[in-house]
């Protein structure tokens, strides 16, 4: 720091002391501060001229304000519930291998899964496989990788033969139960195992469908890989709107109509893009291949009496321990993204056959509530949390008195129409991939057109024996078509704002 006049120098100039006493006081205080700083072993403050930016630094917002700006509350919320910039997909593509060589027996079998199943050697490999501990799994990515592997082992073992295997050996049951408990998931192939954590990408943009690859399939077919990857791309596309809708929910308190309207408009565009990805299912996934070769492996053990599992599956933990489990199979109904869209739009779902005007409603949880148990724990809690943040629908129900309110109402109704159209597209997919193949099989006397399936007993053979499309059961264990139609209708009803509300 350059030299400054001392207090002694000031007192030697009576004119300065007489005319500007405050200058003298200033230098006295400054000199005392320097002495105090030296005593405390700190460098004295520099004079502003030596650091021209020092004043501007002290006139900006506080460090706390900067932190709030850099990490908005909605981003902190997303991080708390393991929601990333890719939505419910991980931030980085899932692991292709477990790094610890201890798990080589798992990796060897999973990388030859489809060939072992087609050759009829899979069951022998599983029975000869050592029972491995989960203690050497370190990161969440490793736990997820283990869950994917063991879930594929489970379904390959149960559904990979001529008849279902009702007893799961300890080599799979024990580690699967432990991994599932860690991830807060049921021990079955959920949507997370088949889709969220079962892909690789040639780019960092997971919504680019043609740049994705499935890590594992049961059949080794392009059809099966494509079936999973369409969902991955949809999750990535839809995930981009999560932060925007969280901002919209935050804006309810301040009645920031512009922010909410802009978020709803973005949501409509995202739903349309997601629907366009869904329609690409037809490009690489043949309905007959899906119905006879892929779908049987995806079935769970709930409501599968006609498919050969009247009691579900027994998870043998060895030494006389174990238990029966009746669990849903993987289905897109377990997508946290779809439920998030319902939550932010205020779409209310009811038990099958009921509606908003039902006189007596069932106390049983709805399908949407039940399948939250099939989502990763943090994601399910995220949905519960978002549901408590406020209702855009209630705000849209208020009779508009300003142009801003009118625009919000129009944007909300447009978003519900987009969501309804998305569910119509899903109904068309289900009709083409499940209803029509099962109908063709019944008309042909139950003869499956895929010889490789022979006389197998599984969900496909059960569907062939079903006399009515209304009785078809999905891999998630639901009455398929009635459930999907009711869900579509409930989405349409959400856009009906004829009942007024209050601000």
Q: Give the separation between CA 115 and CA 111, rounded to whole angstroms.
A: 9
Which residue has tokens 């999750």? 235
463 and 399 co-located in one domain: yes
The pair of three-digit structure tokens given for residue 85, joined into one six-digit string: 């910039």
25 and 77 co-located in one domain: no
Under 8 Å between Cβ of 352 and 470: no
For residue 360, tell me if it sits in a domain: no
Average pLDDT score, the chain: 84
The pair of three-digit structure tokens given for residue 9, joined into one six-digit string: 């120098």
Higher pLDDT, 275 or 443: 275
Structural domain of 419: 73-351+367-494
For residue 137, tell me if it sits in a domain: yes
Q: Give the separation between CA 330 and CA 366, rounded to whole angstroms.
A: 17
HSE at residue 334, side-chain half, CA atoms within 13 A, is 27
190 and 259 co-located in one domain: yes
28 and 88 co-located in one domain: no
- β-pairing, 313-318 with 167-168? parallel
pLDDT, tens digit, for every residue of 410-469? 999 999 999 999 999 999 999 999 999 988 887 776 544 443 444 577 776 665 555 455
5 and 124 co-located in one domain: no
pLDDT reading at 20 higher than 80: no
218 and 294 co-located in one domain: yes
Minimum mean pLDDT range among 11-25, 41-55, 79-93, 336-350: 41-55
Per-residue model confidence (pLDDT) at position 70:
42
Which pTM does this prediction carry? 0.81
pLDDT reading at 472 higher than 90: no
Higher pLDDT, 122 or 36: 122
Residue 471 binned pLDDT confidence (cut-offs 50, 70, 90): low
Per-residue model confidence (pLDDT) at position 364:
76
Helix (H) or strand (E) holding 274: helix 257-279
For residue 67, tell me if it sits in a domain: no
For residue 327, tell me if it sits in a domain: yes
Q: Give the separation between CA 462 and CA 477, rounded to whole angstroms.
A: 13
Which residue has tokens 């969902």? 231
CA 247 to chain CA centroid, Å, is: 18
Per-residue model confidence (pLDDT) at position 215:
99
Give the phi and the psi of residue 370 in degrees, each rounded to 5.
-65, -40
Q: Determine the longest span between alpha carbons in the chain, in angstroms.
A: 118
The CATH number that applies at residue 452 is: 1.20.58.480
List the one residue out of 59, 390, 372, 421 whose CA is nearest residue 190.
Answer: 372
List the one residue out of 370, 222, 426, 367 whose CA is nearest residue 435.
Answer: 426
pLDDT, tens digit, for every residue of 195-248? 999 999 999 999 999 999 999 999 999 999 999 999 999 999 999 999 999 999
What angle in degrees, to the nearest 10, is found between the helix axes of 336-345 and 403-430?
150
Give the phi and the psi of residue 201 in degrees, each rounded to 5.
-140, 140
For residue 426, say whether it is annotated as part of any ligand binding site.
yes
pLDDT reading at 370 higher than 80: yes
For residue 49, tell me if it sits in a domain: no
Under 8 Å between Cβ of 398 and 501: yes
The pair of three-digit structure tokens given for residue 495, joined into one six-digit string: 């856009």
pLDDT reading at 52 higher than 70: no
219 and 266 co-located in one domain: yes
pLDDT reading at 148 higher than 50: yes
Mean pLDDT (whole number) for 34-43: 41
210 and 309 co-located in one domain: yes
Q: Give the separation between CA 378 and CA 444, rounded to whole angstroms.
A: 47
For residue 62, tell me if it sits in a domain: no
39 and 79 co-located in one domain: no
Helix (H) or strand (E) holding 288: helix 287-289
pLDDT reading at 60 higher than 70: no
The pair of three-digit structure tokens given for residue 260, joined into one six-digit string: 């909410």
Angle, CA of 486, 283 and 111, to the nearest 5°: 95
DSSP bridge partners of 501: 398
Higher pLDDT, 238 or 354: 238
pLDDT reading at 309 higher than 90: yes
Give whole-number Cα distances, 168 to 145, 150, 313, 322, in Å.
Answer: 20, 11, 7, 10
Per-residue model confidence (pLDDT) at position 47:
30
| 3-state DSSP of 58-94 | HCCCCHHHHHHHHCCHHHHHHHHCCCECCECCCCCCC
Helix (H) or strand (E) holding 318: strand 313-318
Q: Give the separation between CA 91 and CA 244, rounded to whole angstroms.
A: 18
Under 8 Å between Cβ of 247 and 291: no
11 and 103 co-located in one domain: no
Number of domains the chain is built from: 2
List the one residue out of 499, 500, 494, 495 whose CA is nearest residue 398.
Answer: 500
116 and 172 co-located in one domain: yes
Per-residue model confidence (pLDDT) at position 457:
75
For residue 393, tell me if it sits in a domain: yes
For residue 56, tell me if it sits in a domain: no
Which residue has tokens 């799961």? 168
Strand intervals (E) in 414-467: none
pLDDT, tens digit, for every residue of 176-201? 999 999 999 999 999 999 999 999 99
For residue 275, the tally of other CB atoms under 10 A from its CB is 19
Terminal Cα distance for the chain, rounded = 61
Burial classification of residue 206, based on how many CB atoms lie within 10 Å of its CB (0-12 exposed, 13-18 middle, 19 or more buried): buried
pLDDT reading at 1 higher than 70: no
Under 8 Å between Cβ of 235 and 195: yes
Please state, for a pLDDT cut of 90, what percent of the chain lies above it.
70
Residue 473 binned pLDDT confidence (cut-offs 50, 70, 90): low
78 and 212 co-located in one domain: yes
């Amino acid at each position: 720091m350059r030299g400054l006049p001392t207090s002694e120098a000031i007192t030697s100039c009576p004119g300065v002391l007489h005319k500007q006493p405050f200058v003298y006081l200033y230098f006295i205080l400054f000199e005392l501060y320097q002495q105090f700083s030296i005593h405390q072993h700190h460098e004295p403050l520099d004079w502003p001229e030596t650091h021209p930016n020092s004043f501007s630094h002290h006139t900006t917002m506080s460090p706390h304000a900067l932190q709030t700006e850099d990490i908005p509350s909605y981003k902190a919320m997303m991080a708390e519930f393991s929601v990333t910039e890719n939505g419910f997909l991980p931030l980085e593509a899932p692991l292709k291998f477990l790094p610890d060589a201890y798990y080589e027996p798992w990796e060897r079998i999973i990388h030859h899964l489809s060939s072992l199943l087609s050759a009829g050697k899979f069951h022998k490999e599983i029975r000869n496989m050592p029972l491995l501990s989960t203690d050497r799994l370190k990161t969440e990515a490793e736990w997820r990788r283990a869950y994917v592997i063991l879930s594929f082992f489970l379904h390959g073992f149960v559904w990979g033969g001529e008849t279902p295997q009702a007893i799961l050996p300890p080599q799979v049951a024990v580690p699967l139960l432990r991994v599932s408990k860690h991830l807060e998931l049921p021990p079955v192939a959920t949507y997370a195992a088949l889709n969220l954590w079962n892909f690789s990408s040639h780019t960092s943009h997971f919504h680019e469908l043609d740049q994705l690859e499935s890590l594992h399939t049961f059949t080794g077919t392009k059809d099966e890989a494509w079936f999973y990857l369409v969902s991955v791309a949809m999750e990535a596309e839809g995930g981009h709107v999560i932060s925007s809708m969280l901002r919209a929910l935050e804006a309810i308190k301040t009645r920031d109509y512009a922010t909410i309207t802009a978020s709803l408009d973005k949501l409509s565009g995202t739903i349309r893009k997601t629907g366009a990805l869904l329609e690409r299912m037809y490009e690489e996934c043949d309905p007959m291949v899906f119905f006879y070769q892929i779908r049987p492996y995806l079935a769970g053990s709930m409501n599968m009496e006609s498919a050969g599992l009247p009691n579900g599956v027994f998870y043998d933990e060895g030494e006389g321990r174990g238990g029966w489990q009746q669990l849903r199979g993987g289905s897109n109904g377990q997508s946290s993204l779809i439920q998030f869209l319902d939550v932010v739009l205020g779409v209310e779902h009811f038990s099958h056959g009921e509606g908003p005007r039902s006189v007596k409603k069932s106390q049983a949880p709805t399908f949407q509530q039940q399948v939250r148990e099939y989502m990763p724990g943090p994601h399910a809690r995220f949905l519960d949390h978002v549901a408590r943040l406020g209702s855009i629908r209630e705000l849209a129900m208020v009779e508009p008195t300003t142009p801003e309110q009118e625009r919000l109402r129009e944007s909300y109704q447009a978003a519900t129409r987009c969501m309804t159209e998305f569910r119509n597209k899903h109904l068309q997919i289900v009709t083409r991939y499940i209803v029509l193949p099962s109908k063709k099989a019944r008309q042909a006397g139950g003869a499956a057109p895929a010889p490789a399936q022979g006389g197998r007993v599984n969900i496909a053979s059960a569907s062939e024996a079903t006399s009515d499309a209304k009785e078809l059961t999905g891999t998630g264990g639901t009455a398929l078509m009635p459930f999907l139609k009711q869900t579509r209708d409930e989405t349409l009803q959400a856009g009906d704002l004829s009942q007024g509300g209050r601000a």
